[in-house]
Every structure is written in structure tokens, then in C-alpha cells.
């Protein structure tokens, strides 16, 4: 993974000093709360319903076992002994004291981490495929470019007061696991260069990003991004916070006109000053070598273990992903045990995952936007030992990609924007589908829950999306069907009236039972059946009385 | 508790920290020129009148104005005041970079309006040379902003090299 050099260390130290000074001036009354707010947000510090929340950046979701251990330490020392992994591949600490933040930032800097630009109207953490550098279907590794973008966007002097937040996602694989078309900019790295999608997003007006350029050469990436951002910074709306994202600008101009303006701006830029040349791209690529892969895999031993331990066999089936080497896999550690908040991990669990990464995963971990933890490279011969280590810490839930592997925003339990609770509903649904055999029979099905229209739980792109709304002080949930964020991205559509929380799990079960009746075979996934038969077929089941 | 910096009188200070009296007079659309000037014209008025003017003058540009419309008249302009009606509105940063890097404007670029010390670092990098800043100690605010970061990750309108360029240079010096 990327290793800080003197420049990076100096930058984070300077930035932390600046923030400590800003905190001091706020405490002295030299700046008002109104003036302080964008400054603290740019440092990842939110004021939530009950306490400050600190969101720490995990650049493109890649972290070392040492960094995971530091998260455990922070959770133990400064929070209530747990952290929450987010859909932005970051981690949030929900119970932080303002006075502790400078010390926490110092402890993070020691392990080459920070909380910069995890909030505010600036360029946020670039996200990518959680299996980058490992997946069998990968064409090119997106991580070096994610790092190049991270550096270019850090403290960018022109783009720190954008109309609204700005999120870039990048993938280099055949399958899109980074949901690039629901990002402000989605980059798809291909042998011919980048495909550039601009103007996607969720929130109250969801859009899939249109393709505005193909074949963008890697050594021109930054100047083209700079042109994209400059057109947005100048012409994005600032009169209405709900219309300020780039998706609104691109939609208003039309993709063709936006693209034309970007090309015009790009042609006028002094690209030599912006673009990292190929030699620099190679420098960044050198930070992402393959680990020294273990050989000597004994296939029969693995088969014996699977035969002897059915739960292990199921875990291997559900939680591993095809690796570019046949004797390795990528392992997903599910943070979605039945009945617990999605994405949460205790400090003890973080330590266990760090240990596991060191023992079986070449010291590397990833955070996925589905709020799980990944060991990208695990030798197949180590799977059973890994499984047993995880199993003792409630980290062996075998539900990846399944109905209980839900995305849920923090909701009304934490968030001051929320209209409804998300986490308790996710818990109720996971209890409803607790049965392992039923879960496996249903197969791949993504439920995504947001506690308000801002869509942090990605409800627009859930196969089943759930949106919490407030109706005269009562929480209701609208159900969407048919969304997906993969390479065939589509937005879900709201079906009928909202349901009270207690009616949602049963409604989902009726839809799922109908799917099981209607599917042509076990390999036709829920989303395929919905696409084939249309949402209307399922809408009725949602709302028919139990 | 001291008072917020934003309640201090706006003071003109240069990028070198010199505090100057502001000798320029703003002429809005309907204003008659009186006195000797020099004058800063509102954007629309500047576009109408610059062509016929003999003296070099100043132009005040609001966030929504397209700075590139000034291109034909740059030799008539000595000063561009880039307005920041609120510190959250970041359009002025693009305006300044376009002026400097695209249009090659060599006159004075000045930030006016809601200009607070926390914006100054970014403004320096985007090519501003003067600031009408609200702060208890404007000169110190500019000096602190200039040295706040020892490195920059990206090229901009100032002469700082992006980190990648400095890494390349360091490598070349070693080999």
C-alpha cells in the first residue's frame, strides 16, 4: 500500500496544526460557530444528535493491520469501545469529545492517517473496488490512480469551497463493485484509458451518471478532472442546497453541453502544471506490488475441512471472492451479524481482524462500501484456520451479498438529519431472515436502508430499497424495487404507500416468497426476476395484507 | 473572550504583509465619476465603458460574472477586485486562477468581501496579491497563511511545485 514520504508527513502535520489553531480560535471566540462549522467539517468533525462524531478517512478503503489496531485503540480510549465502518469506506467514531480531537488526530498521523476532507463541500475520499489488485476480473489496478487523485485533491486551493460535496469513485474491473454511476465522477479504467461518467448521485434527486468521455489517458487524468471541477465550481447552483450537486448541473445543461464546456476548459488549461506524467504514475504504481504469495495449496485438506464442518463450507461459499491466483481468494468478513447494527465493530473485533490480516492476509485489509471488512489475499490453505479465528469473535457470519448483508445509514439513532430509524429496522429484517438455509435459498439480494431522503443508505440502488420518512411525527418506510449499482446500474422505483416499521419485515418476506415462486431457476437472482417481470408484479405483494 | 475577527474593520493588506490605504473608488452603474479616481467599475459597466477609456482602471467582479469577458480589455485594467459575498462561495478562486493562468493578467488581483484568515492560504495559491481582510492582525494573518503549509500537492497559480514534481526533482538530484 501507499507509504507516506516526507511530503505527506509534513502536510498532515501542517494541516493538524492549522486545525488545532482553528479550534483554539473558536474557543477564544475569534470565529463564530457559523465560521467554524465549515472548518471543522473539512476535518471530519460533525456535531450529531448526542455528541461529536469524527469521521476518519480510509483512503480508497485500503488499510494495514497496524492502522486497524490504531482504530481499536481509539475506539477503546476515546469512544464507547466501537467504531462504525461507512459506505464511503471510512470509519466513524460516534462518541467523541471535542477536546480529545487534536490528540486523536495526532495518534492517527502516527499511522499515516487523518480525518481530512471526510466532510464539507470539498473533494471527498475517493472510493474503489474492495477487491482491487486481487480480483480475477480486474483489468487494471485502480489504487495508484486513487492515490494520485487523493494527493491532487488534498487541500486543493480552488476546490475547497465547492457548491456541495464531491465524490469520485474508480474501478478497474469488468464488474463494477464501486457503484461508479451513482457518484459525482465515476471512472472506469480500461486498457484504452478511462471512461468518465459525470453527474450521478443519490439524495432526493437520484441520477445515473452519463458517460461524457472515453479513452482518457492516465497521464491526463488530473487536468481533465480539474476541468470537470472548474466548470462545476463556476456554474453549479449555490442558491439551493438540494440543487447544488453536480448531477443537477449536468442534468440542466445536458451531458453533451457539460462535456463540451469541460473540453473547452481542458483545452485552455496548462496541463503540464497539473498532470502527473507517466514516470510519476509508475512511481505510484510501485507502491502496490503483489504480496509474496504463499504456494503449496493442498486442495484435499480444504475439501476435508468443508466436509467436516458444514458452517465453514457455507462461509467459504458465501464470503470468498475469486482471486487472480487460483490458490488464493479474497475473504469478506461480514459486519452484519443477525440483530446487530450493520458496519459496527468493537475494539476487540478490530484487533482480531488485524491479527487475522497479519496471520493470513499479508497484513492488508479493506473496507467495502457495503460496510464489511475484506482480506484481499488469503491462501486457500489458510481458510479454515482463519475461519476458526474469526468464529470466536462473532466475525464469521456467512451472509455476504445475501438478504441480511444490508447497508443501513446511522439513522435517527445518531443523525440529526434523519426522519426515521434505520438500524433497528435492519435488525428486525435480519432477524426475520435469520435462517441460514432460507438466506442461501434466496441467494443474492441487496437491501439498502436510508433514514431520510439524503440517501446515505443508498436506498435508490438497493434491489429492495427502504426509505424512512416522517409523517406527522410517525416514522414510515417507503419501499423501492429494482435498483442496482453495478455495471447495469438502475434506480429503484417507489412502490405504493409507506408502511409502518413493524409491517416492513413481513412485506419484504411476501416479496421474497413471490420471487421464489416466480424465478425460473436457482440461478435467476432476485434482481433478474424483478427486471424480467417488472416491478408491478411485486408491488402488490408488498402491500397486500398479511 | 475577544470579539470575532469578522467584526474588525476590513483592512487592505498585500501578499507581503504590507498594510495599505485603499485609494480606489468603487463606481457602481449609476454613480458619476467625481474626484481624481482611480476608479473601480462594476462588471457590466466595465464591459460597456472600458473600450473608450484612456486611463487604466479597476473592475469589480462578482461570483456569477464570467471573467473571460474581460479578455479584450486586459491592457486597460490595472486592478481586478474579486468579490466574495460570503466565505462559502468559492467561485472567486476559479476566477482568480483563470485571470492569472489562462488570461495571463499581470495587474493586481484583490479579494474583497467576506475575506477571513482561513481563506488566505487558498487565495495566495490561486493568484491573489491583495486582500481586504477582516482580522485583528491582518499582516500576521497573511504571513501565517503563506507559511502554513510547507508542501503543496498540486500546481496552482503560485510558484509552488506540486509534490510529484518535487519528488521527481529529488530523484533526479540523487541519480
Cβ–Cβ of B150/A279 closer than 8 Å?
no
Q: Is residue B33 part of a domain?
A: yes
Q: Which of A22, A30, A238 sits opposite B4 (nearest CB)?
A: A30
* Residue at B81 is within a domain: yes
CATH number at residue A29: 3.90.480.20
Mark yes or no for CB contact A157/B162 under 8 Å. Answer: no
Do B88 and A5 make contact, defined as CB atoms within 8 angstroms?
no
Average pLDDT of B40-55? Answer: 90
Q: For residue B147, what is the nearest residue in chain A, using CA coordinates?
A: A14
Task: List chain A residues with CB under 8 Å of B101.
Answer: 269-270, 273
Whether A247 and A198 map to the same domain: the answer is yes
- pLDDT value at residue A219: 95
pLDDT band of A471, cuts 50, 70, 90: confident
Residues of the domain holding B67: 5-150
A206 and A270 both lie in a single domain:
yes
B174 part of a folded domain: no
Asked, for residue A396, whether it belongs to a domain, the answer is no
pLDDT tens column, A155-180? 999 999 999 999 999 999 999 999 99
pLDDT of residue B5: 81
* Domain assignment present for A43: yes
Condensed to tens digits (0 to 9), the pLDDT of residues A337-375 reads 988 888 999 999 999 999 999 999 999 999 999 999 999
CB contact under 8 A, A28 and B153: no
Cis geometry, peptide bond prior to residue B106 (ω within 30 degrees of 0): no
Q: Verify whether the Cβ–Cβ distance B167 to A233 is below 8 Å.
A: no
A277 lies in the same domain as A148: yes
Whether residues A153 and A269 fall in one domain: yes
Residues A372 and A464 in one domain: no
> Which pLDDT score, from 0 to 100, does residue A545 have?
59
Chain B contact set for A160 (CB, 8 A) = 90, 93, 122
Lowest mean pLDDT among A202-206, A470-474, A506-510, B105-109: A470-474
Rounded mean pLDDT, A411-415: 85
Measured between CA atoms, the residue of chain B closest to residue A156 is B154
Mean of pLDDT values over A272-286: 92
Out of B89, B121, B125, closest to residue A161 by CB: B89
Domain membership flag for residue B161: no
CB contact at 8 A, A131 and A113? no
The answer to whether residue A290 sits within a structural domain is no
Integer Cα distance of B68 and A142 in angstroms: 36
Q: Tell me the three state secondary structure of residue A408.
A: strand
Residues near A44 by beta carbon (within 8 Å), at least 6 away in sequence: A54, A55, A56, A57, A115, A116, A117, A118, A119
pLDDT value of residue B2 = 57
Residue among B125, A302, B65 at smallest CA distance from B80 = B65
Single pTM value for the model: 0.95
At B59 the three-state DSSP class reads strand
pLDDT at A296 > cutoff 90: no
- In the structure, what pLDDT confidence band is assigned to residue A544 with cuts at 50, 70 and 90? low
Does the pLDDT value for residue A410 go beyond 90?
no
What average pLDDT score do residues A462-478 get? Answer: 93
Region B88-102 average pLDDT:
97
Residue B84 lies in a domain: yes
Task: Give A21's contacts (C-beta < 8 A, 6+ positions apart).
Answer: none
CA A543 remoteness from chain centre? 31
Q: What is the pLDDT of residue A546?
A: 47
Q: Are A201 and A207 in contact (CB under 8 A)?
A: yes
Asked if B6 and A161 come within 8 Å (Cβ–Cβ), the reply is no
What pLDDT, on the 0 to 100 scale, is given for residue A322?
A: 97
Q: What is the pLDDT of residue A259?
A: 98
Q: Are residues A159 and A88 in the same domain?
A: no
Residue B100 lies in a domain: yes
Q: Is residue A128 part of a domain?
A: no
Residue B1's pLDDT band (cuts 50, 70, 90): very low
Confidence of residue A14 (pLDDT cuts 50, 70, 90): very high
Final residue of a structural domain among A391, A425, A447: A391
For residue B64, give the chain A residue with the closest CA: A234
Q: Does A33 touch chain B (CB under 8 A)?
A: no
The range of the structural domain enclosing residue A521 comes to 407-543
Query: A209 and A321: one domain?
Result: no
Same domain, A98 and A147: no
Residue A285, pLDDT > 80, answer: yes
Which of B6, B125, B166 is the closest to A157 by Cβ? B125
For A85, the grid coordinates are: 465502518
- Is A1 within a domain? no
Number of folded domains that form chain B: 1
Contact A30 B136 (CB under 8 A): yes
In this predicted structure, the answer to whether residue A430 has a pLDDT above a threshold of 80 is yes
Boundary of a domain, candidates A232, A254, A283: A283
- Say how far apart CA A292 and CA A289 lie, in whole Å: 9
A contact test, residue of B97, B135, B141, B162 with most A CBs within 10 A: B162
Q: Looking at the domain assignment, is residue B87 inside a domain?
A: yes
For A225, the enclosing helix (H) or strand (E) is: helix A221-235
CB atoms within 10 A of CB B94: 23
| pLDDT exceeds cutoff 60 at A434 | yes
In chain A, what residues touch B151 (CB-CB under 8 Å)?
7, 10-11, 14
Yes or no, beta carbons of B150 and A151 under 8 Å apart: no
pLDDT in tens, B54-81: 778 999 999 999 999 999 999 999 999 9
Instruction: Tell me if B122 is assigned to some domain.
Output: yes
Domain CATH number, residue B72: 3.20.20.70
- The answer as to whether A129 is a domain residue is no
Average pLDDT value for residue range A486-510: 93
pLDDT (tens digit per residue) in B2-35? 578 888 899 999 999 999 999 899 988 777 777 7
- Give chain A's domain count: 4
A169 shares its domain with A268: yes
In B, which residues are within 8 Å of A35 by CB distance? 4, 6, 87, 116, 118
* A161 in the same domain as A238: yes
Whichever domain contains A232, its CATH number is: 3.30.413.10
A231 is a domain residue? yes
Partner residue opposite A10 with nearest CB, options B151, B155, B168:
B151
Spatial separation of the C-alpha atoms in residues A345 and A505, rounded to whole Å: 25
Amino acid at each position: 500500500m501507499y507509504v507516506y514520504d516526507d511530503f505527506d508527513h509534513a502536510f498532515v502535520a501542517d494541516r493538524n496544526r492549522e486545525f488545532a489553531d482553528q479550534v483554539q480560535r473558536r474557543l477564544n471566540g475569534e470565529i463564530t460557530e457559523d465560521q467554524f462549522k465549515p472548518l471543522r467539517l473539512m476535518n471530519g468533525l460533525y456535531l450529531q444528535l448526542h455528541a461529536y462524531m469524527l469521521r476518519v478517512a480510509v483512503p480508497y478503503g485500503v488499510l494495514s493491520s497496524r492502522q486497524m489496531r490504531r482504530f481499536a485503540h481509539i475506539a477503546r480510549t476515546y469512544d464507547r469501545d466501537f467504531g462504525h465502518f461507512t459506505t464511503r469506506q471510512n470509519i466513524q467514531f460516534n462518541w467523541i469529545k471535542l477536546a480529545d480531537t487534536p490528540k486523536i488526530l495526532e495518534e492517527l498521523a502516527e499511522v499515516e492517517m487523518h480525518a481530512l476532507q471526510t466532510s464539507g463541500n470539498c473533494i471527498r475520499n475517493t472510493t474503489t473496488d474492495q477487491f482491487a489488485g486481487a480480483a480475477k476480473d480486474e483489468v487494471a489496478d485502480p489504487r495508484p490512480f486513487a492515490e494520485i487523485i487523493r494527493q491532487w485533491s488534498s487541500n486543493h486551493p480552488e476546490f475547497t469551497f465547492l457548491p456541495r460535496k464531491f465524490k469520485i469513485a474508480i474501478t478497474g474491473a469488468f464488474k463494477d463493485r464501486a457503484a461508479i454511476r451513482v457518484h459525482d465522477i465515476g471512472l472506469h479504467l480500461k486498457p484504452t484509458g478511462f471512461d468518465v461518467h459525470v453527474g450521478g448521485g443519490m439524495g432526493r434527486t437520484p441520477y445515473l451518471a452519463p458517460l461524457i468521455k472515453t479513452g482518457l489517458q492516465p497521464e491526463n487524468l488530473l487536468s481533465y478532472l480539474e476541468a470537470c471541477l472548474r466548470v462545476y465550481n463556476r456554474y453549479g447552483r449555490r442558491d439551493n442546497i438540494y440543487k447544488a450537486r453536480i448531477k443537477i448541473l449536468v442534468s440542466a445543461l445536458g451531458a453533451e453541453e457539460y462535456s463540451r464546456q469541460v473540453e473547452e476548459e481542458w483545452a485552455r488549461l496548462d496541463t503540464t502544471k497539473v498532470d502527473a506524467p507517466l514516470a510519476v504514475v509508475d512511481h505510484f504504481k510501485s507502491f502496490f506490488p503483489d504480496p509474496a504469495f504463499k504456494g503449496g495449496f493442498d486442495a484435499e485438506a480444504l475439501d476435508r475441512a468443508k466436509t467436516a464442518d458444514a458452517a465453514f463450507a457455507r462461509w467459504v461459499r458465501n464470503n470468498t471472492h475469486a482471486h487472480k491466483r487460483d490458490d488464493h481468494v479474497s475473504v469478506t468478513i461480514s459486519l452484519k451479524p443477525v440483530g446487530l447494527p450493520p458496519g459496527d465493530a468493537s475494539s476487540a473485533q478490530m484487533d482480531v481482524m488485524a491479527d487475522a490480516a497479519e496471520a493470513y492476509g499479508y497484513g492488508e485489509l479493506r473496507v467495502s462500501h457495503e460496510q464489511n471488512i475484506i482480506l484481499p489475499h488469503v491462501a486457500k490453505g489458510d481458510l479454515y484456520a482463519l475461519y476458526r479465528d474469526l468464529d470466536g469473535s462473532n466475525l464469521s457470519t456467512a451472509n455476504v451479498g445475501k438478504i441480511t448483508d444490508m447497508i443501513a445509514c446511522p439513522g435517527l439513532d445518531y443523525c440529526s438529519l434523519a426522519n426515521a430509524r434505520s438500524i433497528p429496522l435492519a435488525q428486525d429484517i435480519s432477524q426475520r431472515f435469520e435462517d441460514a438455509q432460507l438466506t442461501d435459498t434466496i441467494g443474492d439480494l441487496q437491501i439498502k436502508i436510508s433514514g431520510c431522503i439524503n440517501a446515505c443508505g443508498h436506498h435508490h440502488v438497493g434491489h429492495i430499497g427502504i426509505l424512512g420518512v416522517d409523517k406527522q411525527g410517525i416514522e414510515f418506510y417507503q419501499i423501492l424495487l429494482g435498483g442496482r449499482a453495478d455495471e447495469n446500474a438502475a434506480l429503484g422505483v417507489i412502490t405504493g404507500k409507506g408502511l409502518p416499521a413493524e409491517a416492513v419485515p413481513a412485506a419484504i418476506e411476501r416479496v421474497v416468497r413471490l420471487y421464489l415462486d416466480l424465478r425460473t431457476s436457482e440461478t435467476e437472482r432476485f434482481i433478474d426476476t424483478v427486471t424480467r417481470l417488472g416491478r408491478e408484479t411485486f408491488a402488490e405483494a408488498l402491500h397486500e395484507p398479511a | 473572550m475577544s470579539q470575532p475577527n469578522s467584526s474588525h474593520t476590513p483592512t487592505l493588506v498585500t501578499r507581503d504583509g504590507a498594510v495599505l490605504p485603499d485609494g480606489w473608488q468603487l463606481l457602481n452603474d449609476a454613480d458619476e465619476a467625481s474626484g481624481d479616481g482611480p476608479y473601480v467599475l462594476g462588471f457590466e459597466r466595465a464591459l460597456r465603458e472600458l473600450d473608450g477609456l484612456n486611463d487604466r482602471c479597476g473592475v469589480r467582479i462578482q461570483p456569477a460574472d464570467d471573467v473571460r469577458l474581460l479578455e479584450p480589455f486586459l491592457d486597460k485594467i490595472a486592478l481586478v477586485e474579486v468579490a466574495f459575498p460570503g466565505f462559502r462561495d468559492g467561485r472567486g478562486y476559479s476566477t482568480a486562477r483563470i485571470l492569472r493562468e489562462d488570461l495571463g493578467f499581470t495587474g493586481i488581483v484583490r479579494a474583497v468581501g467576506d475575506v477571513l484568515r482561513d481563506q488566505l492560504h487558498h487565495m495566495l495559491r490561486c493568484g491573489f496579491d491583495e486582500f481586504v481582510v477582516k482580522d485583528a492582525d491582518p499582516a500576521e494573518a497573511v504571513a501565517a497563511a503563506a507559511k502554513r503549509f510547507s508542501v503543496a500537492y498540486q500546481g496552482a497559480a503560485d510558484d509552488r511545485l506540486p509534490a510529484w514534481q518535487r519528488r521527481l526533482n529529488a530523484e533526479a538530484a540523487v541519480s
